[in-house]
Structure 1
Amino acid sequence: MGLLYYGADTTATEIPDRLLAHIKVVIATKLRRNESFTLSWRHPDNTAAGRTTLWLQPSIPLRFVFENPEPETLDPELLRELATMANSSAGVSLSWQAETAPAAAVVELRQPVAA
């Protein structure tokens, strides 16, 4: 599991490495263009019920930590889907639990695209 740190909060959000790698690309692209957007997810079953939404903008510190030292193979279709969500007024909505996840965000169920 990868870790996402945002702002001054020292508590990280755990996100599977493969999904985090895709989100990192979308976030970096948007923030490089000085474009803000929201990133939301439901809390995992083993935590308190609810959901979290972050307002991502360039002036707030952001850090990605990956468990796997090797870079993930990125799925171009998934990147396009996540970028489309990031460009919408609803923002990006993630789920990494198969039973509740939209197909676009369930990265671990997809096979990597061969380069």
Structure 2
Amino acid sequence: MGSLVYNTNQPIPIDDRALAHLQLVIYGKLRAHESFPFSWKDEPGVGDGHGSIWISPGVPITFKYAGSREPSVNREWLRVLRDAANQPSGLRLVPEPDGPGR
């Protein structure tokens, strides 16, 4: 279980595979100098809550992985996450679709 740390706030626990896909999408948005909301549901071991943050260029963000191996990339999942990031409601962590790379 990895984590996303935004602006030195409390780490958001996220599965390493999902975190790798979020990292690619978030870096793409920040590279384009775009700000956007990111929302998530807490992992079952953490509780039944949820949260949301506003991600902006220039604010420190860290992706910390628990494992040493880089997960393969599911291009369909990247497409779904990128599409979500471009909606007014923003980026949401959605389940990985079946397909190549899974």
The alignment's TM-score, normalised by the length of structure 2, stands at 0.88
Structure 1 unaligned runs (5+)? 95-104
* 1:113 match: 101
Distance 1:47 1:70 in 2: 24
Give, in angstroms, the shift of residue 46 of structure 1.
4.1
Distance 2:86 2:58 in 1: 19
Local SS of the residue matching 1:4: strand
Local SS of the residue matching 1:26: helix
Give, in angstroms, the shift of residue 44 of structure 1.
3.3
The alignment's TM-score, normalised by the length of structure 1, stands at 0.79
Local SS of the residue matching 1:64: strand
* 2:2 match: 2
User: Quick check: 2:75–2:100 contact (8 Å CA) kept in 1?
Assistant: no
Distance 2:12 2:38 in 1: 12
* 1:73 match: 72
User: Quick check: 2:76–2:99 contact (8 Å CA) kept in 1?
Assistant: no
Let me know the Cα RMSD of the aligned residues. 1.9
Residues paired across the two proteins, number: 102
Distance 1:112 1:66 in 2: 22
Structure 2 unaligned runs (5+)? none
Counterpart amino acid of residue 101 in structure 2: V
Q: Out of 64-73 and 36-45, give the one that drifted further.
A: 36-45
Give, in angstroms, the shift of residue 47 of structure 1.
3.9
Local SS of the residue matching 1:54: strand
Q: Does 1:58 align with 2:47?
A: no
